[in-house]
Every structure is written in C-alpha cells, then in structure tokens.
C-alpha cells in the first residue's frame, strides 16, 4: 500500500522541518504545506467546523465497544482484549469484518468511513491500527460533511512531521501521499511523469509513481536528495503551481491560528510563506507560541498545548487573516523576497544540511514555466 512512497525523499524533507514554525527550512527561506495545497492535492474540505472534540480515553474505549456491539471486557481503564482491538488501537480489518457481520446500514457506513479515514488521512505507524479518536467525528453522520477534514489532516501531518524530527523517531505516519504530492507540485527536479486529469480531480492522482526500492538504494537516494536541496535556489521552485490566486480561491488558506484534530493542535501561519500565494516574502511577525511545549528526544511523549481561546480564532476569519498589501507585495518574479529577509533568516536557521566543503551536485535544472504563461503558450499554438 505504501510502495508508491519515496521514503528517501520524504526523509530529506523531514530533516528540514522545524516544528516551532511548522515550516520546511530551505536554503532560500521557509515553505510549508498550506490549506490551499490540501484543497488542490486531495480535494477534501478545508472549510467547515474545526475538529476539536477531545474525549477522555475511557470514553473513547466505551465508544469503541459500542461501535462493534460487544460488552466491555474488564475494567474500562484496563487493556482491551476483544479480537477487534490490538495493542491499544482498533484493528482495521477486524472493524471492517465486524461492520459487515452486523448488517446494520448506519454502522456499516460508520465502520467503512472509520477504516477509510484511518488508512488515508490519519495513518498510524502500525499501518493496521486506527486512531479511535476518528470515530468521535463519525457518530453523528449528519455532521460528517460539515467538518474541516482537510485542516484536521494537515494538523495531524504537522504533528507527525514534528515527531519525526526527534532523535528517537524511526518512522513517520500521517497522510504521506499529501506530503509527497506537495513535493512534486513545488519541486520540478523531483517530479515523476504526470497524466492529464479533470480540473476538479485531486492532483495527487495525476502523478505516476513507481515502486521505490529500499535498502542501499534508498540510502543513496537520500544522500543525493540532500545535496540537491542544499544546492537549490528559489528559482528551482514552482511557487504557485495552481495559479496566482490561491488565497482568493481558497480563502481559508490565509487563516492564521490553530488547526486541530481531536487532541492534536498545531499552529498555522501563512505569513511565513508569502511566495506560495504569489507575493513577495517579507520578514514574518513574531511566531505564535503555545502555552506549553514538550518535545523530548524520544517522541513517545510529545506535547503541544495551546490556550483554549486559540480554538475560537477559526470562527472569526476576518480578524485572523493574512493581510497583504496587494499592490506593493505582488512578486515581480516568483522567488522574490525583501532585501533583508535572507539576512534575518540566516540568523535563525541553517539553510544547508551538508557541509559545503564536502562538494555538491550539478543540478540539471528544467525550464520552469508558470501556469499563466503556459496557458498563453497553449492558446498561441492552438490559434496561430
């Protein structure tokens, strides 16, 4: 199921992730996966009700037993012993089997959605267990379509990226299809071939990915990817892959505040990524700081706790919106940044991963054509 993922490429980007800002630190500045990326790549809603319900673990366990229609086996606070549960999580295949066995339409739909979401947007590192918090948002099927699933998936991926940066972490989970497709959208040097899709189709489905080898081959690719990223400049990035009106088309992408999935809450700050909206990058304002943060070397205990009032920002978009002076901040060229931006950035980051004295690689740079120019060229060829 995961053979389409290039683990070496994903690792190369994880190494550049900064969990304090939820951005990739590149040689030419910061970039991130934003809500308009989720909209275009996955075509799931980024607008809607913020998914902030966070029941007590005992309540979640009772909900799970209720879902599969079996009595609680022992004390609620104890270990689950049912055949549908495995190592503190619910087993995906077992849940599907149970849903079919009960022959109750609503429960069959709920279990199917549970497995679908747990296998795509909120993937567990075990690959066969599901996060039981997902079911909290499926119990009332009338509300399912009203949730901001895209924002929840992004919050969960942000958290997994942060955990993957810890010394004790050996893997990453979350919606890695989103991460890899995002890399392909913005970095032409890594792109595989692409097939033409309908305009409203998920862009993730347009990339033709082959099976990526592991072992020594993956390690060699990782070294090559590191060197390639170190040698890149802003001109090697396709900054606006969906066109230059991303902030207009997906207004929620300009939101500044916290995004959530159950107990996972992460900061979202588009001010650090102006160029992904087609604007000149300026020095961003002071970054948002959680009330409490604990990110040890081991990712077994990883805490990011925000003030409860931060959740309220989602419902008041006009007051928590990335304001850009349209006339003065429009890019003259895609990678444009203020003169003092890179000086500011270098004092807060280390843009390169590999010692520059060790030698780099010669990049075979493709000719980048932005989407607006591409349309003009096609129209010219059609009517000349």
Q: Each residue of 337-368: b (16+ CB within 10 Å) or e?
A: beeebbeebeeebebbeeeeeeeeeeeeeeee
DSSP 303: E
β 89-91/129-130 pair status = antiparallel
Q: What is the mean pLDDT of the chain?
A: 83
Q: Is the confidence at residue 373, as pLDDT, over 50? A: no
**pLDDT tens across 37-72, in order?**
999 999 999 999 999 887 777 777 777 777 766 665
Q: Is the confidence at residue 245, as pLDDT, over 90? A: no
Q: How many other β-carbons are positioned within 10 Å of the β-carbon of residue 97?
A: 15
Q: What is the torsional sign of CA 313, 149, 151, 95? A: positive
Of residues 270 and 85, more confidence is placed in 270
**pLDDT tens across 246-267, in order?**
888 999 999 999 999 999 999 9
**pLDDT tens across 169-191, in order?**
888 999 999 999 999 999 999 99
Enter the tokens of residue 167. Answer: 């010394």
**pLDDT tens across 88-97, in order?**
567 777 777 7
Is 239 in contact with 335 (CB distance < 8 Å)? yes
Of residues 346 and 382, more confidence is placed in 346
Enter the tokens of residue 240. Answer: 């606006």
The reported pLDDT for the residue numbered 340 is: 96
Least confident of 1-15, 70-84, 152-166, 278-292: 70-84
**pLDDT tens across 189-232, in order?**
999 998 888 888 999 999 988 778 778 888 999 999 999 999 99
Q: How far apart are CA 384 and CA 382, in angstroms?
A: 6
Instruction: Calculate the CA dihedral of residues 267, 252, 53, 22 and round it to 10 degrees.
Output: -20
CA nearest to 299, candidates 162, 145, 185, 135: 162
The reported pLDDT for the residue numbered 306 is: 93
CB neighbours of 267 closer than 8 A, spacing ≥ 6?
21, 22, 257, 258, 287, 288, 290, 306
The reported pLDDT for the residue numbered 379 is: 41
User: Taking phi first (over 0 means left), then psi (-120 to 50 degrees means alpha), and beta for anything else, what does residue 88 get?
Assistant: left
The upper half-sphere exposure of residue 173, i.e. CA atoms within 13 Å in the direction of its Cβ, equals 16
Please provide residue 225's backbone torsions phi and psi, each rounded to the nearest 5 degrees. Answer: -65, -40
Please provide residue 111's backbone torsions phi and psi, each rounded to the nearest 5 degrees. Answer: -70, -35
Q: Is the confidence at residue 130, as pLDDT, over 70? A: yes
Of residues 106 and 359, more confidence is placed in 106
Of residues 317 and 358, more confidence is placed in 317
Least confident of 89-93, 129-133, 163-167, 196-200: 89-93
Q: Is the confidence at residue 382, as pLDDT, over 50? A: no
The reported pLDDT for the residue numbered 66 is: 72
Q: Is the confidence at residue 4, as pLDDT, over 80? A: yes
Extract the runs of DSSP E, i.e. beta strands, from 123-177.
129-130
Our measurement of the distance from residue 77's CA atom to the centroid of its chain's CA atoms, rounded to an integer in Å, reads 33
High-pLDDT (> 70) share of the chain, % = 84
């Amino acid at each position: 199921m995961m053979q389409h993922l290039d683990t070496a490429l994903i690792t190369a980007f994880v190494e550049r992730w900064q969990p304090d800002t939820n951005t990739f630190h590149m040689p030419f500045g910061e970039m991130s996966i934003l809500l308009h990326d989720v909209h275009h790549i996955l075509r799931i809603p980024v607008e809607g009700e913020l998914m902030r319900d966070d029941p007590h673990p005992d309540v979640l366990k009772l909900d799970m037993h209720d879902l599969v229609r079996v009595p609680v086996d022992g004390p609620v606070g104890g270990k689950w012993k049912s055949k549908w549960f495995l190592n503190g999580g619910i087993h995906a295949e077992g849940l599907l089997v149970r849903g079919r066995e009960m022959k109750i339409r609503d429960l069959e739909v709920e279990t199917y959605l549970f497995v679908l979401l747990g296998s795509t947007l909120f993937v567990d590192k075990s690959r066969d267990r599901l996060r039981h918090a997902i079911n909290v948002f499926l119990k009332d099927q009338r509300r399912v379509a009203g949730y901001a699933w895209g924002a929840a998936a992004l919050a969960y991926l942000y958290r997994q990226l942060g955990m993957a940066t810890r010394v004790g972490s050996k893997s990453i989970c979350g919606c890695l299809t989103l991460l890899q497709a995002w890399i392909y959208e913005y970095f032409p040097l890594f792109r595989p071939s692409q097939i033409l899709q309908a305009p409203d189709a998920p862009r993730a489905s347009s990339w033709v990915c082959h099976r990526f080898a592991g072992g020594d081959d993956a390690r060699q690719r990782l070294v090559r990817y590191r060197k390639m990223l170190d040698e890149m400049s802003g001109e090697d990035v396709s900054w606006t892959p969906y066109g230059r009106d991303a902030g207009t088309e997906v207004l929620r992408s300009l939101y500044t505040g916290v995004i959530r999935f159950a107990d996972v809450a992460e900061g979202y700050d588009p001010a650090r990524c102006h160029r992904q909206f087609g604007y000149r990058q300026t020095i961003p304002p002071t970054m948002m700081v959680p009330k409490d943060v604990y990110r040890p070397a081991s990712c077994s205990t990883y805490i990011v706790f925000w003030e409860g009032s931060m959740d309220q920002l989602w419902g008041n978009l006009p007051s928590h919106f990335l304001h850009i002076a349209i006339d003065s901040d429009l890019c003259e060229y895609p990678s444009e940044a203020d003169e003092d931006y890179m000086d500011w950035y270098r004092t807060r980051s280390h843009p390169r991963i590999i010692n520059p004295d060790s030698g780099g690689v010669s990049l075979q740079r493709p000719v980048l054509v932005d989407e607006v120019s591409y349309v003009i060229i096609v129209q010219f060829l059609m009517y000349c």
